[in-house]
Amino acid sequence: MNKFNKIIKNEEGSMTLLWIGVLGGMMVLFLFVLNLSKVLAVKEQANTTSQQASFAATSVIYDNLSPSISSYDNYILSLNLDPLPKLLSEKIAEMESSIRSNPRYRDYSNNEISLEAMDRALTSELSGGFEPELLKNLLENALQGAVPTMISVARDTIAENKGNIDEAKIRLKDNRIYIRASNDFNATAYDKYIKGFRKKLFQESAGPEIGFLSSLSLGISDNWIPLGDEEITWEEND
């Protein structure tokens, strides 16, 4: 009987160890899946961070166009021509109306339609409008002065999305503003099997194409510029 009890106890001990091993393995597997899901979530967050920052910086460009468009229209009006050429603001309004009536753009937001109309009208005017050189000079002056605001807005957007500014970068290439930014991934640790660590996960996104920029000479480099620098020089010779 004692021998039988001893066997039973040994079996119970073995089963206990087996269950501990199984539970430990399940815990490791659970944490692996948990960390993997966190990686995917943080990568998506980093993509959102870079995407929103690139769109915000792009919006700054369009936000700075109104004074140039008004100055251009006022110049045309000051000539007292008869018949009066169609003003740039009128061309933009007509283009916007045309885009809104096109089923191809039914998924565009009101803001996206406005920006698309402005881009098309400016591209057309710069390539063969009433006074393209004047418009070119007006836009170049306005956009070069907007660079500090673009950088500031990009930084603020990254910070709002809990991204890292210190290693974030910006560049203007192929008429698009690109942002490379990261968010922190913190791995969940488990004993000696899975170590906890922190890693920056980077993603890169580009804003919508700004077609009329191809007609301008902004002297802006297409190299990556660190957003973490206190003073940023975004010039062609850098």
Rounded mean pLDDT of the chain? Answer: 85
For the chain, the domains span 2-226
Which amino acid, residue 196? G
State residue 204's pLDDT score. 95
- Judged by average pLDDT, the poorest of 36-45, 62-71, 159-168, 191-200 is 191-200
Q: How far, in Å, CA of 144 to CA of 172, rounded? A: 13
Which amino acid, residue 172? L
Tell me the average pLDDT across 107-111: 90
Q: What is the DSSP string of 166-227?
A: EEEEEEEETTEEEEEEEEEEEPPPBTTTB---EEEEEEEEE----GGGGG-------S-EET
Coil vs helix vs strand at 86? coil
pLDDT band of 233, cuts 50, 70, 90: low
The listed range with the strongest mean pLDDT (13-27, 163-177, 222-236) is 163-177
Which strands form 176-186's sheet, in the order they lie side by side?
198-206, 176-186, 164-173, 225-226
Tell me the average pLDDT across 78-97: 95
State residue 185's pLDDT score. 86
pLDDT band of 225, cuts 50, 70, 90: confident
Asked whether the predicted pLDDT for residue 238 surpasses 50, the reply is no
Q: At what angle do helices 132-160 and 66-78 cross, to 10 degrees?
A: 160
pTM of the predicted model as reported, rounded to 2 decimal places: 0.79
Tell me the average pLDDT across 166-194: 85
Whether omega before 103 lies within 30 degrees of 0, making that bond cis, reads: no
Which amino acid, residue 200? K
Q: How far, in Å, CA of 194 to CA of 111, rounded? A: 47
Tell me the average pLDDT across 234-238: 53
State residue 34's pLDDT score. 74
Which amino acid, residue 189? A
pLDDT band of 228, cuts 50, 70, 90: confident
Tell me the average pLDDT across 94-101: 96
State residue 237's pLDDT score. 46
Return the higher-pLDDT residue of 214 and 220: 214
Find how far residue 141's CA is from the centre of its chain. 25
pLDDT band of 138, cuts 50, 70, 90: very high
Q: How far, in Å, CA of 139 to CA of 122, rounded? A: 10
- Judged by average pLDDT, the poorest of 10-19, 71-80, 186-195 is 10-19
The overall longest dimension of the chain from CA atoms, in Å, is 120
Q: 236: which DSSP letter?
A: T
Closest residue by Cα to residue 71 from 17, 136, 127: 136
State residue 27's pLDDT score. 66
pLDDT tens-digit series, residues 20-70: 666 666 666 777 777 778 888 888 999 999 999 999 999 999 999 999 999
